[in-house]
Structure 1
């Protein structure tokens, strides 16, 4: 659980720092929500 949380944390940080398109950010947010609901 902790390892997955760290991966999500670093991936989210990289996504907000890097100039990625809004679509990529939306997809990651949806993925995080799905993982959170499963957990």
Structure 2
């Protein structure tokens, strides 16, 4: 229903933010590995 929409949107936003942080971490790890 209408009450579920904000929660679904929040969960999607949180998951997307988490994925972005994960990607940043992977990029940083790759940069460290490549610099050696």
Gaps of 5+ in 1: 1-19
Matched residue pairs, number? 20
Gaps of 5+ in 2: 22-36
- Runs of 4+ off more than 6 Å: none
The answer to which structure has the higher helix fraction is 2
Return the structure number with greater relative CO, CA threshold 8 A, min gap 6. 1
